[in-house]
Amino acid sequence: MKRVIVVHYDEVALKGGNRGYFEDVLMRNIRVGLPKGVAVTQEWGRMLVDINDQAVVSEVLNMLSHIPGVATYGAGVSLSRDELSDDHSVIDELGKMVTSMLQECEVWSTFRITAKRVDKGFNIESNVLEREVGDRVFEHFKSVGESKSVSLRNPEKEVVVEILNKKVLIYIKERGISGLPVGSSGKAVALLSGGFDSPVAAYMLMKRGVRIVAIHFHGMPHTSEASLDKVKSIVKVLNNFSGEKRIKLYIVPVERAMKAIALEGKQSKLRLILLRRFMNRVAQEVAHKVGAKALVTGESVGQVASQTLENMRATAESVDLPVLRPLCGMNKQEIINIASEIGTHDISVLPHDDTCAMFMPKSPETKAKMPEVREALKTYDEDTLVEQALSDMELV
């Protein structure tokens, strides 16, 4: 009997001819997150992490909970088939093993057993195995005065028993974030502010296998160093999900662009749109530089006055690359809930100097008209501003 962590992936396996490629990317992302000396192997559509040292289990489980592409994972044991009986007494043996596994878990009251029989030569059907092993576990806890019950639909502990051709795996299943492994869907440049939305947007794309390169525009010296640190902390949190490589963060000063744009008629209602167009253009240049195929923003339709369909069109019109807005149909609370789950909420909630808010005219345009935007663009040289921004840009 060996201690293992079993990893399953769902969508990855659906990719037909590309399956091997997706598995390789997932495997690489997992391997990079493992402590030194811990090995992972791939066996029959699942991955097994060998646990020689019990002390690393919680670290590895935590890592797996952050890896896109991991559908389920769980710590348990792997036995060779000849360690178990060939007759019905296997039910007692499995019952004992599952019971002792559950005894190690804290605070739970409902459970279920899920059996998967890959080897049809095993003479007990899955549903019989589930029921009978479940009975043994139930009876054990009852006999020691603990009331535990079976919940097939929503158990607090789901113990999986997989009967494979040569092995049996028994583990307590947890849900991963699913999706696709980062790096399997190419790259995109994410425009990261310090707010709630853009980190969630970047995460959503990572969950679809996209490697993120981040860009942040700061208004220093008018904005603080602390605001910049906030963005760096957000990137650190996003790194947990990124597998193999760390996220690159480009930082770009916007003071010069703001000055140029502001000259275009005091308090022009188009100011913010013009600034966001400039940001998109700089981000697009970065995309070309790093081989990214799209931009990602945290825009959500109607969330603020600037995020109308007309304004989204006016800001995105400055670039050829697709501008992905994974939050476009989400409510603020839904976005904040995801921010809490992924760990960016507590950073985003800190005060910061918002470059866009600073630049907000008294009455901002809510329905930008392209002819007016084009007129405004004639009053300054956007190309040169983009070039200058690129030469001022730093990689953190």
Q: Tell which residue, 76, 1, 6, 103, has the closest CA to residue 45.
A: 6
CB nearer to ligand ATP: pick between 138 and 217: 217
Does 140 bind ligand ATP (CB under 6 A)? Our answer is no
Name the segment binding ligand ATP (CB under 6 A); options: 36-44, 74-82, 168-176, 292-300. 292-300
Among positions 29, 185, 193, 318, the unique one binding ligand ATP when judged by CB under 6 A = 193
Decide: is 195 part of the binding site for Mg ion (CB under 5 A).
yes
The mark string for 206-225 relative to ligand ATP (x by CB under 6 A, - otherwise) is ----------xx--------
Residues 6 or more apart whose Cβ sits within 8 Å of residue 208: 68, 179, 180, 185
Among 196, 203, 241, 250, binds ligand ATP (CB under 6 A): 196
Nearest to 302, CA basis, from 366, 368, 356, 358: 366
Q: Does residue number 195 form part of the binding site for ligand ATP (CB under 6 A)? A: yes
Q: Given the rule CB under 6 A, which of 5-13, 155-163, 302-310, 338-346 is the region that contacts ligand ATP?
A: 302-310
Among Mg ion, ligand ATP, none, residue 68 binds (CB under 5-8 Å by kind) = none
Near ligand ATP by CB under 6 A: residue from 114, 126, 303, 379 = 303
Residues contacting 93, CB < 8 A, separation 6+: 84, 85
Based on the shown chain and the rule CB under 5 A, indicate whether residue 193 belongs to the binding site for Mg ion. yes
Decide: is 227 part of the binding site for ligand ATP (CB under 6 A).
no
- What is the maximal distance between C-alpha atoms in the chain? 87
Q: Applying CB under 6 A, does 281 fall inside the site for ligand ATP?
A: no
C-alpha atoms less than 13 angstroms from C-alpha of 6 in its C-beta half-sphere: 25
Give least dist CB 349 to ligand ATP, A.
11
Per-residue binder mask for ligand ATP (CB under 6 A), 309-348, x = binder: ----------------------------------------
Residue 297 touches ligand ATP, criterion: CB under 6 A = yes
Sheet holding 394-395, edge to edge: 323-324, 295-296, 187-191, 211-218, 248-253, 394-395
Q: Does 304 bind ligand ATP (CB under 6 A)?
A: yes
Candidates 72, 184, 185, 198; binder of ligand ATP (CB under 6 A) is: 198
For ligand ATP, which is the closer residue by CB, 185 or 297? 297
Could you say whether residue 356 binds ligand ATP (CB under 6 A)? yes
Per CB under 6 A, the segment of 44-52, 71-79, 145-153, 294-302 that binds ligand ATP is 294-302
Which region, judged by CB under 6 A, interacts with ligand ATP, from 93-101, 169-177, 295-303, 370-378? Answer: 295-303
Minimum distance of ligand ATP from residue 395's CB (angstroms): 15
Q: Name the residues that contact ligand ATP, by CB under 6 A.
A: 191-193, 195-198, 216-217, 279, 297-299, 303-304, 306-307, 355-356
